[in-house]
Amino acid sequence: MREIVFDTETTGLNPMGGDRMVEIGCVEIVNRVETGRHFHCYFNPERDMPFEAEAVHGLSSIFLSDKPLFGEKVEELLHFIEDSPLVAHNASFDFGFLNLELERCSRPGVSIHRMVDTLALARSRHPGAKHSLDALCMRFGIDRSHRIKHGALLDAQLLAQVYVELTGGRQIGLGLVADTGAIMVEQAAGPVTVREPRPPRPHAPLAEELERHRAFITKLVNPLWERFLGAG
C-alpha cells in the first residue's frame, strides 16, 4: 500500500488567523518501506516571519522572499501525493494549513478520511508517555542527531521511521511454495534468501530406552490416564 508521510513548517499556529505554510516535505512509503521518492518545497508566505516561528525552523523572511508561491507548485504537490493516505504527526494541524493553501488556489481540500495521525497512534499505544517526535525517536532508537531545528523534509523522514514502528515494525513474511516445498523468505523491500528445507532425520528410541520407560511407568501411583481407560 502506498502512503505519504508529510510535515509542514508555518509562520505560526493559526491558519485562519493569517498564518501561512512556508515549507512542506513528503516522503513516499510502500508497504511501510521508504522508496526514496520525496517532494520538498519552500514557499513565499507573502507576509513577515514572526521571531517565535523563525526560532523553531530557522526560515527567515529574507530566505523565503525568492521562493515560489504555493500556487506555483500545487500541481507538482498534488501529482506526488495522488490519492494516497497522508500520515502526519498531530495531523489536524498540517491538514488545516494544507487545505487552506489549497482553498486559496481554488482547489478542493484533502479529505479528512485520508488522514493518519501518528500522535493519536502513539497516545493509544503508549498512554501517559511523551509523544513528541523527539520522544518517539528516542523510544524507538531512531537517530535524530542531525535534527538541530525543525525541517519539513527531515521531520517527515524521521516520522516515516516512527510510523513503521508504531504500526508493527518491518515484519518478515513467510510463504510456502506448494510444488517444491521450498520456503520463500520475503521482506517488504523485496525477496531475500530462499532456502530448501533439510531432509527429515529419524529419531526413533532404542529398545533399551523403551524398556526403561516401561519400568518407569509401572512405578507411578494412580496415573491420570487410568481414569479414562475403558471410558466411552
pLDDT at 33 over 50: yes
pLDDT band, residue 25 (cuts 50/70/90): very high
pLDDT of residue 48: 96
Q: Map residue 163 onto helix, strand or coil.
A: helix
Q: Tell me, what's the pLDDT at 163?
A: 97
Residue that is written with C-alpha cell 501517559 in the block: 128
List, by residue number, the catalytic residues. 150
Give CATH for domain 2-166. 3.30.420.10
First to last CA, the chain: 54
| Distance (Å, whole) CA 12 – CA 219 | 82
Query: What's the pLDDT at 171?
Result: 53
Nearest to 160 by CA among 146, 140, 186: 140
96-102 CB contacts, 8 Å cutoff, 24+ apart: 96/15, 97/8, 97/10, 97/15, 97/19, 97/20, 97/21, 98/8, 98/21, 98/24, 100/15, 100/16, 101/20, 101/21, 101/70, 101/74, 102/74
User: What strand order describes the sheet that includes 190-195?
Assistant: 173-176, 183-187, 190-195
- Does 173 score more than 70 pLDDT? no
Q: Could you report the per-residue pLDDT of 47-103, keeping only the tens digit for each? A: 999 999 999 999 999 999 999 999 999 999 999 999 999 999 999 999 999 999 999
User: pLDDT for 138-171, tens place per residue?
Assistant: 999 999 888 888 999 999 999 999 999 999 876 5
Interior/surface letters 64-73, b for 16+ CB within 10 angstroms, e for the rest: beebeebeeb
DSSP string covering 2-39? EEEEEEEEESSS-GGGT--EEEEEEEEEETTEEEEEEE
Tell me: the pLDDT tens digits for 120-138?
Answer: 999 999 999 999 999 999 9
Q: What is the pLDDT of residues 175-189, one digit of tens each?
A: 444 444 444 444 444
Give the helix/strand (H/E) hosting 174.
strand 173-176
Q: Rounded to 5 degrees, what angle do the CA atoms 27, 30, 36 make?
A: 45
Residue spans of the domains in the chain: they are: 2-166
Contact between 153 and 4 (Cβ < 8 Å): no
| Structure confidence by residue, pLDDT tens digits, 194-203 | 556 667 777 7
- Can you give the pLDDT at residue 222? 80
